[in-house]
A and B are shown apart, each in its own frame.
Chain A
Amino acid sequence: DGGITQSPKYLFRKEGQNVTLSCEQNLNHDAMYWYRQDPGQGLRLIYYSQIVNDFQKGDIAEGYSVSREKKESFPLTVTSAQKNPTAFYLCASSTTGYASPLHFGNGTRLTVT
């Protein structure tokens, strides 16, 4: 079955360490997205990519970095510059266009202590 795989489901890191969250999709979607979810704040867009080797900052890109070397992969690195990295991170993909529904992965819960 087609879908989006995020790994790991839970991730623990010490403050000051960079950490990379994996996102792989086999839906043949061109567009991929990273969202951050905090309690009571809905989903906030971190980065998005509409095509391989191209990506744009979302609303809260500071302290994060991404790459899009392959169509099916869009890893997110949470750097030590991110002041409050503990959150639930969701990866999504879609065909291009504002009318296209997003398909989401199961998310990664990152805890930084």
Chain B
Amino acid sequence: AQKVTQAQTEISVVEKEDVTLDCVYETRDTTYYLFWYKQPPSGELVFLIRRNSFDEQNEISGRYSWNFQKSTSSFNFTITASQVVDSAVYFCALGVSGSARQLTFGSGTQLTVLP
């Protein structure tokens, strides 16, 4: 069985601070994908990034960066110089090969960026 843990339920930061959202996953499969989604107040989940289990390179996209470490089964997400528009619920998710059921989601982290 797969499991995704996002231990941080809520985080509040002041604008321009950096913030890291933690994600820890569990799976016995060796082939899997990890995802991050953003859910703004409008409700729609927006896909941010996908990383496969064979690619441990960190990725940076603008103010966003992701740190994937198989040794600790973690896929953490950092927002640099946060902005009010970053306020949302962020979900980490895991998809394993051979599973037509798609993704196992974490419980989400509510990020509030204060002006």
Q: Chain B contact residues (Cβ within 8 angstroms of A): what range?
A: 20 to 34
Report Cα–Cα, A104/B91, bound state, in Å: 13
Q: Is B99 part of the binding interface, using a Cβ–Cβ cutoff of 8 Å?
A: yes
Task: Give B85-115 as 1s and 0s: 1 = Cβ < 8 Å from A's Cβ atoms.
Answer: 0000001000111111111011110000000
CB neighbours of B64 from chain A (8 A): none
Which of these, A40, A90, A102, A106, contacts B102 with CB under 8 Å? Answer: A102
Give 15 new A-B contacts, CB below 8 A, not counting A48-B102, A56-B100. Answer: A31-B100, A31-B102, A40-B107, A41-B107, A42-B108, A43-B105, A45-B101, A45-B102, A48-B100, A98-B33, A98-B97, A102-B45, A106-B42, A106-B44, A109-B43
Interface, chain B (partner A; CB < 8 A):
6, 9, 32-33, 35, 37, 42-47, 50, 52, 91, 95-103, 105-108
Ranked nearest first, the 6 interchain pairs of A and B with the lowest CB-CB distance are A42-B107, A107-B43, A98-B95, A104-B45, A101-B47, A43-B105
